[in-house]
């Protein structure tokens, strides 16, 4: 009798397994070079595995989205699979990294019963997926599932945060995946991890439109899960610049039922240079919708805030006044800097964007700048803009070049839509936009190329919190997903242990050569000169180099990249190459291969001085002839770097 029961049980198990196998389907797509493969498994839910040869990089990650109570991804029913190849060269309207960007991938579109699709793309340097739906009318997005198992011994680098109210300026935290538990704070994208089998992985999102930004928290067992700020139903004003959600919906978005949802992408390589060089955030984003973009003029800007509007050796009282801004304009004109920013304080108050304080005559200041080839960008709180959308038309009449909008500090659906409304209205009036107090880039700067930079970074204005230990991760994480307004250029340089914030003297951690190199290493369509003209005049040689570094590039090459340790980058603008390197707390030599050059060239090189490890302002300028067949050996001090121009 027991034998019969055993046989019957075995038969039942076999039948169940056969039934499960019958409803389980697998489909795969590989990168153009055949190295990366993503295999999608459809059963009770949807999982995907990413491999390179026999190496498993991501194992059975899960994805789904729930619209108005219907979970797309639960027992999916596959209708058909459509395969295509994407192969195009994209010419960027604002070439902040490369003038031509290659978009080459194999695509697999899983068409499901019920009016939805799941699209996967496999690139040579990563994979991406998104949901596409064809539902009638308006739907609520109740939630989106993203479960990402990470090998327990992987090294994870993340920005932990306590709430969704976030300015994206947290320090990076480094820990083993198994150390990130359900009790740990959540974190925001991008996420970086290094697997035990040697792969570098960067996870982020793009084409985020009419949808909130993703955050991550632990689901336990070394697994990350997505979480999103809910849709705000009621808000309360706090101070002059914040609207704080006080009542939230039970859903994360209310949107059109027929649409494409954001891309979730992974940049994957054993070579960290590929992470730094990637352009996936850009190529997967929505193409430009503004038409002619020739009026957009990226460039450098003399900035007044970080240096406290200080000046010395002058015959006027420095401050937020017309004489000080004329001083900034004179400096910008002398060094070929295109813009100056008037930061907080230029207006009569933060609720009135149309009238200046009593010490500034705006029409006269604008004319003074234009006569010297320098345009003005105005700082505003986001709330001031929201309540005065007519200011874009008015500023166009004034002759303003752009706006720096600050303190959004949210990334829910309403705020994401605010960013797009701003960019669209600014584009109508030929105004550039720089967002501070902002989330990370997620594709909007391709759709609206007049959005030329975002903050969303722990930058120089954070004083002692900003040091090379954290900053050296930025090329691999934050700047790897789009332009970054870090605000470099401090001339009072100190080693990090000596950076004690002062109201009188703005200090910058890292050596002088390190600060100069940031202009080459960091990508931004609007690059700040953060120090006062008085300090730059005292350091004229360094100021001249900084002001000569372009903000747009024909070509970018990552020569060396070791996450969090050092990065060396070469960029070409026309017939000039700029090379920059930044280093961590360990002094090291690098041998820079110059084989990308043709023939002999003249080079001006700025390196750490022999005492830069103790006196961070110590640097050395060298002029020499270089050629393609002779590598360049350069020593970088601790927290040091180098910068060069070859022409």
The catalytic residue positions are 406, 461
Return the H-helix or E-strand segment holding 4: helix 2-23
Q: Which residues contact 145 (CB under 8 A, 6 or more apart)?
A: 62, 63, 64, 65, 66, 71, 73, 225, 226
CA 608 to chain centroid: 28
Closest listed residue to residue 342, CA positions, set 325, 358, 330, 359 = 325
Strands 566-573, 600-608: pairing kind: unpaired
Which backbone phi and psi does 382 adopt, to 5 degrees? Answer: -65, -35
475: left (phi over 0), alpha (psi -120 to 50) or beta: alpha
Closest CA to 51 of 127, 131, 158, 116: 127
Coil, strand or helix: which one is 295?
coil
Q: How many distinct helices (H) and strands (E) make up the chain? A: 13, 38
How many CB atoms lie under 10 A from the CB of residue 120? Answer: 23
| Angle made by CA atoms 124, 228, 407, in degrees to the nearest 5 | 100
What is the dihedral angle through the alpha carbons of 324, 329, 330, 334, rounded to the nearest 10 degrees? 150
Angle at 329 between CA 368 and CA 306, to 5 degrees: 140
If you ran DSSP here, which 8-state letter would residue 513 be given?
H
Q: Is 57 exposed, middle or buried (0-12, 13-18, 19+ CB in 10 A)?
A: buried
CA atoms within 13 A on the CB side of 497: 5
Strands (DSSP E) along 474-525, which ranges? Answer: 493-494, 508-509
Helices of type H across 250-390: 272-277, 280-283, 322-335, 362-371, 382-386
Nearest of 298, 290, 272, 285 to residue 101 by alpha carbon: 285
Spatial contact of 111 and 81, defined as CB atoms under 8 Å apart: yes
What is the SS3 string spanning 215-277? EEEEEECCEEEEECCCCEEEEEEECCCEEEEEEECCCCEEEEEEEECCEEEEEEECCHHHHHH
């Amino acid at each position: 009798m027991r034998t019969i029961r055993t046989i019957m049980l075995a038969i039942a198990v076999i039948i169940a397994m056969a039934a499960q196998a019958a409803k389980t389907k697998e489909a795969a797509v590989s990168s153009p070079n055949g190295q990366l493969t993503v295999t999608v498994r459809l059963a009770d839910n949807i999982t995907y595995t990413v491999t390179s040869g026999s190496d498993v990089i991501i194992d059975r990650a899960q994805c789904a989205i729930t619209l108005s109570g219907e979970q797309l991804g639960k027992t999916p029913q596959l209708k058909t699979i459509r395969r295509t190849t994407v192969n195009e060269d994209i010419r960027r309207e604002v070439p902040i990294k490369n003038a031509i960007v290659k978009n080459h991938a194999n695509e697999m579109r899983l068409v499901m019963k019920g009016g939805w699709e799941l699209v996967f793309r496999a690139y040579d340097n990563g994979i991406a997926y998104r949901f596409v739906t064809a539902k009638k009318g308006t739907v609520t997005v109740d939630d989106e599932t993203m479960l990402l198992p990470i090998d327990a011994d992987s090294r994870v680098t993340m920005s932990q945060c306590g709430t969704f109210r976030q300015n994206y300026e947290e320090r990076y935290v480094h820990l083993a995946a198994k150390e990130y538990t359900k009790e740990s704070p959540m974190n925001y994208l991008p996420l970086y991890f290094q697997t035990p089998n040697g792969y570098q992985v960067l996870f982020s999102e793009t084409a985020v439109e009419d949808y909130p930004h993703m955050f991550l928290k632990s689901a336990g067992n070394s697994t990350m899960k997505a979480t999103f700020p809910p849709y705000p139903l009621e808000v309360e004003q706090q101070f002059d610049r914040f609207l704080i959600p006080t009542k939230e919906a039970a859903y994360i978005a209310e949107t059109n039922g027929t649409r494409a949802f954001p891309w979730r992408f992974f940049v994957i390589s054993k070579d960290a240079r590929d992470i730094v060089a990637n352009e996936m955030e850009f190529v997967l984003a929505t193409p430009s919708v503004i038409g002619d973009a020739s009026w957009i003029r990226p460039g450098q800007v003399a900035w007044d805030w970080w240096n406290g509007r200080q000046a010395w050796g002058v015959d006027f009282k420095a401050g937020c006044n017309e004489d000080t801004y004329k001083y900034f304009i004179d400096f910008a004109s002398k060094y070929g800097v295109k813009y100056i920013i008037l930061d907080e304080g230029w207006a009569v108050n933060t609720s009135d964007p149309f009238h200046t304080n009593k010490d500034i005559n705006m029409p006269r200041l604008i004319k003074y700048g234009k006569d010297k080839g320098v345009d003005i960008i105005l700082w505003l709180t986001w709330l001031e803009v929201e309540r005065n959308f007519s200011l874009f038309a008015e500023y166009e009449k004034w002759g303003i070049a752009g706006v720096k909008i600050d303190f959004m500090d949210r990334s829910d659906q309403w705020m994401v839509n605010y960013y797009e409304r701003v960019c669209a209205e600014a584009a109508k009036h030929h105004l550039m936009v720089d967002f501070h107090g902002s989330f990370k880039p997620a594709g909007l700067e391709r759709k609206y190329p007049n959005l030329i930079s975002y903050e969303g970074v722990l930058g120089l204005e954070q004083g002692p919190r900003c040091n090379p230990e954290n900053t050296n991760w930025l090329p691999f994480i934050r700047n790897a997903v789009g332009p970054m307004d870090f605000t470099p250029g401090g001339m009072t340089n100190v080693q990090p242990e000596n950076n004690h914030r002062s109201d009188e003297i703005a200090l910058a951690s890292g050596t002088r050569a390190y600060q100069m190199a940031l202009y080459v290493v960091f990508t931004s369509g609007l690059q700040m000169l953060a120090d006062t003209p008085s300090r730059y005049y005292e350091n004229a040689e360094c100021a001249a180099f900084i002001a000569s570094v372009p903000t747009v590039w024909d070509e970018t090459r990552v020569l060396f990249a070791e996450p969090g340790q050092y990065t060396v980058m070469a960029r070409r603008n026309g017939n000039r190459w700029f090379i920059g390197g930044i280093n961590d707390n360990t002094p090291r030599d690098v041998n820079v291969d110059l084989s990308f050059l043709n023939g002999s060239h003249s080079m001006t090189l700025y390196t750490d001085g022999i005492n830069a490890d103790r006196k961070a302002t110590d640097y050395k300028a060298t002029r020499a002839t270089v050629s393609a067949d002779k590598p360049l050996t350069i020593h970088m001090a601790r927290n040091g770097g180098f910068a060069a121009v070859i022409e």
